[in-house]
Amino acid sequence: MTTTVEVSAPTPLRLPDGRPALDAWALDPAVRHLNHGSFGGVPLAALAVQDQARREMERTPVAWFPGLPLRVAGVRQQLAEVLGVPAERLALVPNASAGASVVFSSLELGRGAEIVVTDHGYGAVTMGAERAARRVGGRVVTAPVPLAAGEDEAAEAVLSTLTDRTELLVLDHITSPTARRLPVGRICAAARARGIATLVDGAHAPMMLDAPVAEADADVWVGNLHKYGCTPRGTAVLVARPEVAERLQPLIDSWGADLAFPERFDHQGTLDLTAWLAAPSALRFVEESLGWDAVRRYSSDLAGWAQDLVTDALSEASGTDCRADVGMPVGPIRLVGLPPGLAVGHLGANGLRDRVLAEAGIETAFTSFAGRGYLRLSAHAYNTPDDYRDLVDRALPLLLSWAAEAARPLVTVNPHERREQ
């Protein structure tokens, strides 16, 4: 496919020994991995630490599990230092959705309470809010935030939805379907002044933002370390303000149930927690081999360059303006609009993702918002400009052909009409 003239692409990152950064990850080199934002990617060094811990667990399980909470407590201390929060405010949970479920199941809402979410929210978390509201005969109220809304407009769109019945406000720090930030700190401060509890879903924020917990200043903040942070999957943190923390209970009642927060979260029965134990090694590897500041700068520059490249190519080839006007964009995750008919709804977006992987060998993410489909580009340390050039060359022709198929009118045949012989 012929593309417009490129601006200068960022120089790919390399390991200290000169090898490409991708060599440090367990990702299949035969596949283009352009969707770090969904499920992350774990460095080989961290997988080795996890494998060693798992072998120890399997060799002596009776010795392993009684001593596991003490190990988890040590990990909490290390992660708290990285995130810049007191260790006594941080608990480990399997993922951000599980952290949100802790809040929904622990906070006592009044009869008929309202929970406010936004139309950019992560589906699983919104469903959890709906279940919590139903338990008290309340309801979920959705605050519509325009994709192009800047900080002032976005804050007003959310705050104008709050009423005297609002008891919990759920916000995304970085939105999953639309790759934008919300002014969470400003909104949380205003909600707290009105006595409304706040939950910030920071699934994508750890390590992508320099100080996400302080920026949000929420009553409860949850975030995945296994996304941008590259830790083994199943590693996330819940950070709570002291006045809220003691009300929070883990989803599993184990032998630590009578302990204070966060120690009671260190007891998770017989779950395999080796991902938690290996998490600090993943963060440390990236810092020592590449540097988190350098990774943030590079991935942001690369994603911005790739967004321009793909947007220009798709707009030119389709005759459709594929620019995505995002009010508060995020450095390493960007949107490109799709031609009509593609990624219609959540299922349509996931189907398109699977089809591109099957037919082009490229891992991508597609989302849908306000009736339009989007290609969500993610970039990390191991990605290079060639990854996105290949996306243009091999995946865009497929997208154009599928868009043409979707645009064709359906032809129906009246079974009562006689066919001409």
| The residue type at 296 | R
Strands, E assignment, 70-213: 90-93, 114-118, 139-143, 166-172, 197-201
Please tell me the predicted confidence (pLDDT) of residue 374. Answer: 97
In whole angstroms, give the CA distance from residue 334 to residue 326. 9
- pLDDT tens readout for residues 100-128: 999 999 999 999 999 999 999 999 999 99
Rounded to an integer, the average pLDDT of 157-161 is: 98
- pLDDT tens readout for residues 38-85: 999 999 999 999 999 999 999 999 999 999 999 999 999 999 999 999
Task: Say which residue the tokens 């006592």 belong to.
Answer: 108
Rounded to an integer, the average pLDDT of 278-297 is: 98
Question: Hey, what domains does the chain have and what are their CATH numbers?
Answer: 21-30+290-404 (3.90.1150.10), 46-286 (3.40.640.10)
In whole angstroms, give the CA distance from residue 177 to residue 158. 18
Cβ atoms of 181 and 188 closer than 8 Å: no
In the chain, % of residues over pLDDT 70: 95
pLDDT at 7 over 80: no
Q: Are strands 362-363 and 197-201 parallel, antiparallel or unpaired?
A: unpaired
In whole angstroms, give the CA distance from residue 202 to residue 215. 11
In whole angstroms, give the CA distance from residue 219 to residue 200. 8
- φ/ψ region of 40 (left if φ > 0, alpha if ψ in -120 to 50, else beta) reads left
- Binned at pLDDT 50, 70 and 90, residue 421 comes out as very low
Please tell me the predicted confidence (pLDDT) of residue 411. Answer: 52
- pLDDT tens readout for residues 364-387: 999 999 999 999 999 999 999 999
Among 85, 83, 132, 126, residue whose Cα is nearest residue 108: 132
**DSSP bridge partners of 170:** 199
In whole angstroms, give the CA distance from residue 69 to residue 56. 15
- Binned at pLDDT 50, 70 and 90, residue 5 comes out as very low
Enumerate long-range contacts of 9-17, CB under 8 Å, 24 or more apart.
9/302, 9/305, 9/385, 10/298, 10/301, 10/302, 10/305, 10/385, 12/384, 12/385, 13/290, 13/294, 13/295, 13/298, 13/381, 13/382, 15/289, 15/290, 16/289
pLDDT at 420 over 50: no
68 to 60, 117, 205, 272: CA distances (angstroms): 12, 37, 28, 10
In whole angstroms, give the CA distance from residue 23 to residue 14. 9
- pLDDT tens readout for residues 382-409: 999 999 999 999 999 999 999 999 887 6
Give 258's Cβ-side CA count (13 Å radius): 1
Task: Say which residue the tokens 């934002």 belong to.
Answer: 37
pLDDT at 24 over 80: yes
Please tell me the predicted confidence (pLDDT) of residue 91. Answer: 98
Please tell me the predicted confidence (pLDDT) of residue 2. Answer: 41
Residues 6+ apart with CB under 8 A from 327: 146, 147, 148, 149, 150, 151, 153, 154, 180
pLDDT at 3 over 70: no
312 to 5, 30, 110, 324, 335: CA distances (angstroms): 10, 26, 51, 12, 13
Please tell me the predicted confidence (pLDDT) of residue 114. Answer: 98
- pLDDT tens readout for residues 184-209: 999 999 999 999 999 999 999 999 99
Please tell me the predicted confidence (pLDDT) of residue 407. Answer: 80
What pTM, to 2 d.p., does this model score? 0.93
Cβ atoms of 279 and 232 closer than 8 Å: yes
Q: CA angle 129-135-235, nearest 5°?
A: 40
Give 226's Cβ-side CA count (13 Å radius): 18
In whole angstroms, give the CA distance from residue 290 to residue 296. 10
